[in-house]
Structure 1
Amino acid sequence: MAHAEKVYKVRNGVKTKQFTWRACYKKPDGSKGTEPGFDTKKLAVAWGAEQERLIKAGVWIDDTKRGTTFGEFAAIFMASRRKRGRTGGTRWDRLDNHILPRWKDTPMQAITWFDVDSWQQTMTIEDVSRGHCVSLMSTIMTGAVDAGYILVNPLFGRRRTRDTSGEAARPKAPKIKRDGGVRPEDAVRIAERLGPARGIHVLATAWTGMNWGEGLGLHRDNALLWRRQQWGAGEFACQVVRVAEEYAEYQERDEQGRKKGYIVRLEPTKNEWRTRDIDVPPFLARLLRWHLEDWPYERLFATDSGVPWRRGNWARVFRPACDGRKERPKRQGVAYRPAWEPICEGLDMRSLRALHDTMQSELGVKEPLAFEAAGHKRPGIKAHYQKPSPAMRAERLEGLESVFWEAMANVGLEALWGRVDLVKHPVERGP
């Protein structure tokens, strides 16, 4: 129960007869809380009783937390909510580049939705990135509520104001400068241009839908496994690639958010839906089989020395194949390099993953299988009742196979990478 204690003043090291009153109350953890400096016992007892009332009502905030700034709690939050490497790095980037410069020294209790909404409208970044910044702020402030630093998160459930005037109203240029987006023909031509060791990565991404990190993490032991299911009076069988881990490239940080340099690290997949077996169309299974025979390393899509690609190094290879390059004359110490015409300017590996999903939609791949292949969680009750069937799988593989051969015909190719056909004939050996 709240009560008051005398606190005698001390002058020159000697206790005097003058005193003030100190309020005493019981904290939520059972320990004793105090607050000195009251002129009368009545005021001290009343203040202590009010703290106990707030504690009982569940709306009390410890004085040691009351003045905490957003920057101080953001550091506490990030240290206690460790995410997968790239997710944590992305959060720190948003904090360092956008959020903390404005809100670092602002007390948590002084943050209002009006101020945050007004601030996000002034940010000179894409609207989707503005939303991500506000969402991260809201997540951190919800953590502050749970940790007892503030009573309520003023950002929770609020809808941002979007600028619809001036530059914001103008349509943005598409990332890939073609009305229909990337085509299967583009993927085939780029793969042919890159050669077998790198072109197979392009084709695998476009015809399986693996993302960049999943492709880099594909181990030869998880390539070309078999799926077998009962189908009518017989059995359905097809080859699959198993996505079980992925490489992530990000800037490593310590618990205080200090940068430690960029690393490439093998991690588990993002969630349970990303861990999956993807059915592989016959043409791609054949190409992957030959790649496995020729490739000496454990990871199928790696550099010529077997280490994971870094995004910058891959861009130096991939960008000229998509965007084109100038001719380089032969000179001392430098080999001749022919010019390349652009195939699909702005194309990236994410666009190839999107191409796969687009192809599935055009082919009418059923939702249970389309969500499974993409590694997405299907929403709604139908996700519980509808499952991919052998008939769905056979229809999808037949469609993807036909799209590949149609694309090959459209670009005038009968074979890839200088082979007479897509059958790898055994090498004839002498006696």
Structure 2
Amino acid sequence: MAYAEKRGKSWRVRYQLPNGKYDSESGFETKQDALDWGRAQETDVQRKVFVNPSDGRKLFGEWVDEWRQVMDVGEMTQQTYGSRLNAVILPKWERTPIGDITSMSYRAWQAQLKAQYKKNYVDAIEGLMRMLLDDAVDEKLIPFNPMPAGSKRKRGRHVAVDTGDEYVWPTPRQARLLAENARLLRGDQWAVMILTVAYTGLRMGEVSGLRRDQLNLLGLEYGKSLRVQWQGQWLTEPAKHTVSKGETLETIAALRHADPKRAEDVAAANEIEVGAKLRAGQKLRLAKGFTLLPPKYSSYRTLILPPFLGDLLSELLAANSHDYLVFPSQRGKPLRVDDQFYGRFWHPAIRGQDEEPSRRGRPEQAALPAVEGLADMVPHGLRHGHKVWLDGQGHPRVAVEERMGHKLQGVEGTYSHTSPEMELGIARGLQEAWEKSLTDEVDQTAEWRERRSS
């Protein structure tokens, strides 16, 4: 039962907590104010909605440490969350009591984020912050999430929202021209990589993690396929692996790192010998660096290839010397989409470059024409283009989304299914798109064929 005590010129109230113990709050001007406040807390205790005011004094950084301990997400998501927390969120809020984060202080920080970063990144930061504060509400550290609701009407002047399409995506002809530039720049493998993304819709992680054993290139004209089984990612923290029967450190390194020589790194991460005998079900830490992980959203899928792409991939595997990966880097290592990838390959391929002679150890640089209309396209734009092509050809939505690695929600997702005829129809539509791209400009078609034969 709440009761009030005189303390100097003010009043203190003591009230009962859910565990039966008493807590107190000071600074009330009158006895009645103190009693009203204390009785309100005890009413919340009875209604099981009580939030202890002292819990709100926990520092935000302390809450993040606790939250990380129970976070159950994949390795890539864990790394992404850690990066956003360390780079943006914690520098601002780490030493702030979680109960002192107000709507106004959050809005001021939000304005700073929008001035400093691109919209997609700001949205990602806000999504993580909302998750942290929602979980704090669930744990009764704070009574409500101070972040403004997205649909709530805001004061202030109207700000126009850009509703334009954020991604630049190619037509089949533009994808072909980009592939031609990629071939001149780095060789056949890079041309085939561009066309593979454009005509399968793979994510770049799925491209870098595409293993030779995921390609089935034998069979009839439309019998060739590609299995999406892994995505390749560069991790700063070790991933985990559950040992299957008969596996060794060498086979695990070959499977998850695409390099059996990295068995020594896996052994070091687990403080065991390279030749140690493993048991089925044993949990291992993999090495840091390039690692093959399950595809995003566990979107395993098998894609029927248009015949032209199956032929190009067959030729590539015959010429490619890497034991595991279909698209390794120039030096035979796992592909990394970093600043060097953009500066030395992607940007010259889409924006063109001037011819430069060889000098001071640098190889000569072939002149490349810019692919008109693609100057601002990122690699993910090829995946967007794939979706646009399939929608434009009128394929069933369920088949398109399944090929993209998406799952339909609601009733449509429950009752819609992709048939073999739908998959075959997509492959035929993509083959027609490729053949049409070759006839869009006859002179460039001849040039493409001449380049392939040279």
| TM-score range relative to shorter protein | 0.7 to 0.9
Cα distance in 1 for partners of 2:379, 2:389 equals: 15
Tell me the equivalent position of 2:307. 282
Opposite residue 382 of structure 2, the aligned amino acid is L
Cα distance in 2 for partners of 1:26, 1:268 equals: 47
* TM-score, L = length of structure 1: 0.74
Cα 1:47–1:369 change in 2 (3 A) is closer
Please state if 1:196 is matched with 2:188: yes
Q: Is the 8 A contact 1:369 1:392 kept in 2?
A: yes
Q: Is the 8 A contact 1:89 1:253 kept in 2?
A: no
Cα distance in 2 for partners of 1:410, 1:85 equals: 44
**1:413 aligned to 435, 438, 445, which one?**
445
Cα 1:57–1:410 change in 2 (3 A) is same
Unaligned runs of 5+ in 1: 5-22, 39-45, 229-235, 255-261, 422-431
Tell me the equivalent position of 2:364. 336
Q: State the secondary structure of the residue aligned to 1:327.
A: coil
Q: State the secondary structure of the residue aligned to 1:264.
A: strand
Q: State the secondary structure of the residue aligned to 2:231.
A: strand
**2:140 aligned to 136, 144, 148, which one?**
148
Q: State the secondary structure of the residue aligned to 2:332.
A: coil
Cα distance in 2 for partners of 1:333, 1:121 equals: 48
Cα distance in 1 for partners of 2:67, 2:348 equals: 42
Higher helix share: 2
Tell me the equivalent position of 1:209. 201
Q: By how many angstroms is 1:204 displaced? A: 0.5
Please state if 1:346 is matched with 2:368: no
Tell me the equivalent position of 2:348. 320
Q: Is the 8 A contact 2:225 2:303 kept in 1?
A: yes
Q: Is the 8 A contact 1:3 1:48 kept in 2?
A: yes
Cα distance in 1 for partners of 2:165, 2:401 equals: 29
Tell me the equivalent position of 1:92. 82
Cα 1:35–1:163 change in 2 (3 A) is closer
Q: State the secondary structure of the residue aligned to 2:80.
A: helix
Tell me the equivalent position of 1:131. 123
Cα distance in 2 for partners of 1:37, 1:104 equals: 26
What do residues 259-310 of structure 1 show as CA deviations (whole Å, max 9, x unaligned)? xxx94332112223x2111221111111111212222221111114432111
Q: State the secondary structure of the residue aligned to 2:223.
A: strand
Q: State the secondary structure of the residue aligned to 2:401.
A: helix
Q: State the secondary structure of the residue aligned to 1:132.
A: helix
Q: How does 1:160-175 map to 2 (within 5 A)?
A: 161=154
Please state if 1:116 is matched with 2:106: yes
Please state if 1:296 is matched with 2:296: no
Opposite residue 388 of structure 1, the aligned amino acid is T
Unaligned runs of 5+ in 2: 4-13, 27-35, 240-287
**1:265 aligned to 288, 291, 295, which one?**
291
Tell me the equivalent position of 1:17. none
Opposite residue 245 of structure 1, the aligned amino acid is W
Tell me the equivalent position of 2:232. 247
Tell me the equivalent position of 1:375. 405
Cα 1:301–1:335 change in 2 (3 A) is closer
Q: By how many angstroms is 1:249 displaced? A: 3.3
Q: By how many angstroms is 1:121 displaced? A: 3.7
Cα 1:304–1:127 change in 2 (3 A) is closer
Cα distance in 2 for partners of 1:242, 1:321 equals: 28
Cα distance in 2 for partners of 1:353, 1:207 equals: 8
Q: Is the 8 A contact 1:192 1:199 kept in 2?
A: yes
Higher strand share: 1
Q: Is the 8 A contact 2:167 2:381 kept in 1?
A: no
Tell me the equivalent position of 1:78. 68
Tell me the equivalent position of 2:278. none
Q: Is the 8 A contact 2:398 2:417 kept in 1?
A: yes
What value does the CA root-mean-square deviation take over the aligned residues? Answer: 4.0
* TM-score, L = length of structure 2: 0.70
Cα distance in 1 for partners of 2:349, 2:318 equals: 25
